Amino acid sequence: MLTQQPTTTASLLTRFRAVRSATMSFCQPLTPEDLMVQSCPEASPVKWHLAHTSWFFETFILSEFLTAYEPFNPEFRWLFNSYYKSLGEMPEKKLRASFSRPPLDQILAYRCYVDAAIERLLEQTPDEEALRRIALGLEHEQQHLELIATDIKHALFTNPLHPAYIASAASPTSQENIAPPLDWVSFTPGLPSHPGIVDIGITPDPASLETFAFDNETPRHPVYIAPFQLGSRLTTCAEYLAFIDEGGYTRPEFWLSEGWDTMRSEGWQAPLYWHPDTATKSGWSVYTLHGFRSLDELSETPVCHLSFFEADAFARWAGHRLPTEFEWEFVAAQQPIAGNMLESEHLHPTVASNTGDNPPQVQQLFGDVWEWTQSPYTGYPGYKPLPGALGEYNGKFMSSQVVLRGGSCVTPQTHIRATYRNFFSPGTRWQFSGLRLARDGAS
């Protein structure tokens, strides 16, 4: 056990308060009834998220590290378990909308109870592992804050009245904003002595508690990346509409076999939240967290709520491809972590900037939309899951999933980094997921 520096504990407490209150702030516009809705298999009710994030702190930190800690309610240990099978049984995910009991005031009291206990723990100079777990709990809370945003978007869209999450917020874009033309930026990774060889991922310093990374980002290791070009910005709605208008959803030559079958069986004809609307020039309206907007108004914004299959089909139609996760990280590691994220309060992707850079630069790497890559989600060489039940956090999902990079417009800014690997099944559309094009060779 290392001796704790007071600054580490103090900064963690500050971060704990900020992250926990950010979750509650986001829920402010929602009614108690909104908090109960579970409108698709991927989503959970907001009320469940509020309880489960507290469960995480109680189960993995307070029960193990706070002397004489008494659980708020012993039933919650299994009731709000999500998928940690080594902890025992849990309710089926699809039943979460039936949790009208415990009532909301108990869930809110549970959050306060856990908050107070974490503060007591931090006052007691906890050991290093407790601090690491609190840091993990905060990253977990931020992941669930993003899920609250995407789950409530789906819930409100499913409501026949299609209410907005916030009706009065600023529009995601203005009609005067035009995205710059797509440029290609060339990269030749590696050194002349080792062309193409670069290090990817992160090996955190075991003596430092300041740098957080999930186990799936580790260890740092060399990979080979051939010369490549990356699109200077994200693909826009206007570009995606051209794919639709050229029969993209009816031409099997662009689709992976599983993608074609999924698209046909699900009846997809456009991204999730696009709705035919003859009153608009484009023929579509798009549901946003601000309510429906004409696609005419959003045409220059990055396209979002695409499955991997749709992103991949678009790239083939365009004559290019999706980047690998290593190409993406190689470029992102050279850039500051800045962009349209949750704190900007747009709650929707925004138009790329006309920077006038010559030569062109890559922009929109962080925020706006999670970028589908072509990389399967697997462990890096030497990957080791966390010990114990926490080993179920990431590692057990390393089959049949695809990596996304960069965060979205509802990702908290302090949550994202160049090495961060998100992952979803290739048919997933309810996240803010879009794409950036790539192609082989450097010019």
Of residues 188-207, those binding Fe ion (CB under 5 A):
none
- Tell me whether residue 23 or residue 285 sits nearer to Fe ion (CB atom): 23
- Tell me whether residue 82 or residue 158 sits nearer to Fe ion (CB atom): 82
Please give the Cα distance from 84 to 90 (Å, whole number). 8
x/- mask, Fe ion, residues 325-364, rule CB under 5 A, reads ----------------------------------------
- Tell me whether residue 323 or residue 412 sits nearer to Fe ion (CB atom): 412
Tell me the number of residues near Fe ion by CB under 5 A: 1
x/- mask, Fe ion, residues 30-69, rule CB under 5 A, reads ----------------------------------------
- Tell me whether residue 82 or residue 186 sits nearer to Fe ion (CB atom): 82
CB of 112 to Fe ion, least distance (A): 20
CB of 56 to Fe ion, least distance (A): 6
Of residues 65-94, those binding Fe ion (CB under 5 A):
82
Strands 190-191 and 194-195: antiparallel
CB of 332 to Fe ion, least distance (A): 25
Give yes or no for a contact between 377 and 402, defined as CB atoms under 8 angstroms apart. Answer: yes
Tell which residue, 181, 187, 166, 432, has the closest CA to residue 306.
432
Helix-helix angle 128-158:6-27, to 10 degrees = 10
- 194, two tokens: 């080792």
- Tell me whether residue 317 or residue 423 sits nearer to Fe ion (CB atom): 423
Strands 274-276 and 284-288: antiparallel
Strands 422-424 and 433-434: unpaired
Please give the Cα distance from 66 to 335 (Å, whole number). 40
Bridge partners (DSSP) of residue 372 are 404
Give yes or no for a contact between 201 and 412, defined as CB atoms under 8 angstroms apart. Answer: no
- Residue 429's H or E segment, with its range, is none
CB of 213 to Fe ion, least distance (A): 18
CB of 410 to Fe ion, least distance (A): 16
In a 10 Å sphere around its CB, with 0-12 CB exposed, 13-18 middle and 19+ buried, how is residue 77 labelled?
middle
- Tell me whether residue 97 or residue 164 sits nearer to Fe ion (CB atom): 97
Residue closest to Fe ion, measured at CB:
82
CB of 191 to Fe ion, least distance (A): 41
Chain residues binding Fe ion by CB under 5 A are: 82
